């Protein structure tokens, strides 16, 4: 029996900021953002979307009645939680009409949360093959206006159903992981924007990747030639290139070109959406599956997950017959194409309209939000959600 990802879906905002517009407004050369950082567009998240609504909007594309019968584990990976106590998973369970005979909770370790959830789900489904788990990675990446991290913002949600005999991807073999107390990126409780030491974080990321990759090769006896593609946590897509470059010299020239080409397919969604924090690795995987032209059933892909602070993990998955869902891929392309381009001024207004961390009722202007699930406001310290 195999265990893995049976369904995957993605949701983000219907608005974006063009990185050339941002570069011009910040007096930077556009090629720094387009090539040096590797980002073309950035999702602009309105205050009527939070991690709960984005996850619900992602899930509703894939969750059917059979899933409702079988899902009894709901793990919500996020570092953009909406409450310091109650988990986003409980809100989501109710919104989607999932079974109440379920374990539902939230997991946090920066951009690693969804991987922790996925690995927990793998163990659970391995022991309970007739059950399924829903794993979410949802975040809104906020660094601040006119900060170096601004170009690496974004947001969205990835939803994954983990089952036995999955149609898309199966887990294969062990994971290797590594953690250490590192202050490269964090967000104190009183802030809605992250604090980051970006260049240091880049170095730690590559070190953790090399560390887990070397250990993985030692344990499994596999080499770079055994992998059709490598996927990465992508806070911005240049970061993945730095990771890939760290091991490319282990391959011959043909293999190097091939891995670089697969990386291009894999970063397509990420370079147009920006950072999803914990969902970013899985958006990279989905982009690879939907955009690569030469993947085949049985191919092995590598996944490197990184959450600042810091936790790294490397593991592999193998492609199953249904790894590509053409309908969902077309839908994602259409959604990305139909997004509204907002000006830098409009983006700054939306950014500054973020719900503050303070007491008080709020009524939001949700009529213009095109998503099915949205946030209507806050009343008596409670978030009020709506559905079209």
Q: Which active-site residues does the annotation give?
A: 79, 111, 233
Report the C-alpha gap between 20 and 166 in whole angstroms.
41
Which residue, 198 or 322, is less far from ligand COA as judged by CB? Answer: 198
Residue 242 assigned as binding residue: yes
Helix/strand/coil for 296: coil
Q: Phi and psi (nearest 5°) for 160?
A: -135, 130
Contacts of 160 by beta carbon, 8 Å cutoff, 6+ apart: 5, 7, 8, 114, 118, 134, 135, 136, 137, 282
Taking each continuous run of H as one helix and of E as one strand, the counts in the chain are 12, 17
Work out how close the CB of 141 gets to ligand COA at its nearest, in angstroms, rounded to a whole number: 7
Work out how close the CB of 31 gets to ligand COA at its nearest, in angstroms, rounded to a whole number: 4
Token readout for 29 is 């050369």
Work out how close the CB of 19 gets to ligand COA at its nearest, in angstroms, rounded to a whole number: 12
Work out how close the CB of 193 gets to ligand COA at its nearest, in angstroms, rounded to a whole number: 11
Which residue, 16 or 306, is less far from ligand COA as judged by CB? Answer: 306
Q: What residue ranges bind ligand COA (CB under 6 A)?
A: 29, 31-32, 35-37, 148-149, 151-152, 185, 196, 198-199, 201, 205, 235-236, 238, 306, 308
Straight-line distance from the first to the last Cα atom of the chain, in angstroms, rounded to the nearest whole number:
40
Which residue, 161 or 196, is less far from ligand COA as judged by CB? Answer: 196
Residue 275 assigned as binding residue: yes
Which residue, 199 or 387, is less far from ligand COA as judged by CB? Answer: 199
With CA atoms as reference, report the closest residue to 236 among 203, 266, 280, 199: 280
Which residue, 39 or 132, is less far from ligand COA as judged by CB? Answer: 39
| DSSP character string of 71-111 | EEEEEEE-SS-S-SSS-HHHHHHHHHT--SSSEEEEE-BTB
Reduced 3-state DSSP string for 308-346: CCCEEEEEEEEECCCCCCHHHHHHHHHHHHCCEEECHHH
Work out how close the CB of 277 gets to ligand COA at its nearest, in angstroms, rounded to a whole number: 8
Binding site residues for (3S)-3-hydroxy-3-methylglutaryl-CoA, as ranges?
29, 143, 242, 275
Binding site residues, as ranges?
29, 143, 242, 275
């Amino acid at each position: 029996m195999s265990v893995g990802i049976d369904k995957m879906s993605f949701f983000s905002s219907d608005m974006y900021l063009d990185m050339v517009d941002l570069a011009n407004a910040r007096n930077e050369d556009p090629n720094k953002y387009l090539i040096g950082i590797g980002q073309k567009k950035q999702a602009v998240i309105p205050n009527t979307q939070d991690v709960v609504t984005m996850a619900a909007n992602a899930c509703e594309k894939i969750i059917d009645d059979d899933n409702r019968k079988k899902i009894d584990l709901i793990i919500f990976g996020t570092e953009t939680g909406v409450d310091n106590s109650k988990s986003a998973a409980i809100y989501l369970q109710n919104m989607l009409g999932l079974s109440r005979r379920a374990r539902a909770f939230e997991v946090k370790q920066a951009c690693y949360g969804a991987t922790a959830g996925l690995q927990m789900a793998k163990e659970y489904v391995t022991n309970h093959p007739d059950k399924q788990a829903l794993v979410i990675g949802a975040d809104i990446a906020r660094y601040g206006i006119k900060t170096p991290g601004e170009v690496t913002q974004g947001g969205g949600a990835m939803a994954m159903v983990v089952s036995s005999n999955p149609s898309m991807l199966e887990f294969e073999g062990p994971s290797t992981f590594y953690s250490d107390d590192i202050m490269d990126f964090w967000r104190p409780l009183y802030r809605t924007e992250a604090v980051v030491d970006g260049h240091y974080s880049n170095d730690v990321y590559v070190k953790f990747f090399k560390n887990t990759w070397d250990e993985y090769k030692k344990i499994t006896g596999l080499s770079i030639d055994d992998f059709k593609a490598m996927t990465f946590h992508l806070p911005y897509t240049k970061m993945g290139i730095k990771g890939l470059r760290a091991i490319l010299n282990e391959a011959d020239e043909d293999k190097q070109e091939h891995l670089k080409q697969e990386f291009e397919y894999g970063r397509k969604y990420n370079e147009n959406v920006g950072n999803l924090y914990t969902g970013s690795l899985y958006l990279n995987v989905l982009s690879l599956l939907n955009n690569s032209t030469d993947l085949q059933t049985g191919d092995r892909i590598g996944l490197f997950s990184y959450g600042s602070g810091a936790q790294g993990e490397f593991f592999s998955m193998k492609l199953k017959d249904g790894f590509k869902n053409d309908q969902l891929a077309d839908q994602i392309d259409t959604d990305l194409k139909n997004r509204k381009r907002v000006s830098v001024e409009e983006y700054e207004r939306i950014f500054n309209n973020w719900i503050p961390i303070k007491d008080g009722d709020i009524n939001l202007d949700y009529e213009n939000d095109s998503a099915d699930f949205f946030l209507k406001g806050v009343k008596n310290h409670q978030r009020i959600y709506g559905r079209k």
